[in-house]
Amino acid sequence: SQTIHQWPATLVQPVGSPLSLECTVEGTSNPNLYWYRQAAGRGLQLLFYSVGIGQISSEVPQNLSASRPQDRQFILSSKKLLLSDSGFYLCAWSLGQVGHTEAFFGQGTRLTVV
């Protein structure tokens, strides 16, 4: 069966510091991968998605970037964190096939920028 791992679970970082959040998927090949951010009372916002190695699409302009160095690895990064980057970050994967577009989520990373 497929599993998704996301770490760390919580992170407290000072303003201006770099960020690296990692997500890996097991049990499937060539998944679509996503990074979402959840702000209180606002649901989830799609930040990035990837349909293959090295292919990244950004949904909103921001201080973050994403990379997919391997088929089942997705990384969210920042060179210099802002206070507004605080939030709950969720990685997800899907098969990306018609009739199978549901996303499966990791457990999330709570990022607090201080």
Partner 1 sequence: AQSVTQPDIHITVSEGASLELRCNYSYGATPYLFWYVQSPGQGLQLLLKYFSGDTLVQGIKGFEAEFKRSQSSFNLRKPSVHWSDAAEYFCAVGEDSWGKLQFGAGTQVVVTP
Chain contacts with partner 1 (rule: CB under 8 A): 6, 32, 34, 41-46, 49, 51, 59, 90, 92, 94-99, 101-108, 110
Compare residues 19 and 36 and give the one whose CB is closer to partner 1: 36
- The tokens describing 114, both together, are 């201080």
Peptide bond into 18 cis (omega under 30): no
* Short-list 52, 51, 50, CA closest to 65: 50
How many Å apart are CA 30 and CA 51, to the nearest integer? 7
Q: Write the single-letter amino acid at 48.
A: F
- The tokens describing 6, both together, are 């996301």
65 DSSP β-pair partners: 77
Compare residues 18 and 27 and give the one whose CB is closer to partner 1: 27
Compare residues 2 and 17 and give the one whose CB is closer to partner 1: 2
Lookup result for tokens 């049990």: 27
Compare residues 73 and 108 and give the one whose CB is closer to partner 1: 108
Least spacing, CB of residue 114 vs partner 1, in Å: 19
